[in-house]
Amino acid sequence: MESVDNRLKSTRVLGLFAKEPVPGQVKTRLTPPLSTVQAATLYQTALIETVETMRGGDFELVICYTGNPDYFRQAFPGVKLYEQQGDDLGKRMENALNTFFQQGYQQAMLIGSDSPDLPPALVKQAYAALDRHPLVLVPAYDGGYVLIGESFHSPQLFENIPWSSDEVISLTRKRAEQSGIDYFLLSGWDDLDDLDALQRFLRRSPQSKTAEYLCGLSVAEGLTATS
């Protein structure tokens, strides 16, 4: 593992957006074929794997959570916590980034908790891009994005965006262009939002802990049969 540069860590922050894995409140687009308990366990497994993958980088890892803070304190001791604030996803992301900059970080990024195989190398590339651009994006295959990073906060990027639609990345880019914000687009990645994404994930990262959990479910037979 590469050594951590504490000088970079003091200026960079990676916010991991996460929910408490309560059955019926997470991964609802996967129920069915998963039960609510299976979906919650899948979410929890992916969250744990994401935290494990991202810990130890040249940045401060902060879990931006909703739910019971005691769950996150017990599950991830030593990881900083920030409670999400806002009425919709855009406002919660905007508030988190704004808070990070107020705290003195010079580069702030957000990722989700449902891309457990997001490569640390891609995150590293994103931070490098922020040395030259005020905005960096990693598109998701479903039309959203799996990472957004800023070196200068632009709240207008999060206003009046139809979240959970296939227009998120295109409208965010359009908003940046209208505002004169120079942005850098990295190669795309995937999150675990639907059955097609699960199939791609099992093919792409069969050795991950999240894939191991999926393969232990009876529903996995239907997923791997078409892979």
Per the structure block, which two tokens stand in for 94?
Answer: 């905007």
Residue-wise pLDDT tens digits, 188-200: 999 998 899 999 9
Mean pLDDT of 21-39: 94
Cis bond before residue 33 (omega within 30° of 0): yes
CB–CB of 194/184 below 8 Å?
no
The string of pLDDT tens digits covering residues 54-93 is 998 999 999 999 999 999 999 999 999 999 999 999 999 9
Query: Which CATH code fits 6-194?
Result: 3.90.550.10
Q: How confident is the model at residue 1 (pLDDT cuts 50, 70, 90)?
A: very low
Which of 180, 113, 181 is CA-nearest to residue 147? 113
Element (H, E) at 76: none
Q: Report the distance separating Cα 87 and Cα 115, nearest Å.
A: 24
Mean pLDDT, range 155-180, rounded to an integer: 96
> Which pair of structure tokens corresponds to residue 29?
């687009």
Contact yes or no for 58/52 (Cβ under 8 A): no
Cβ count near 40 (within 10 Å):
21
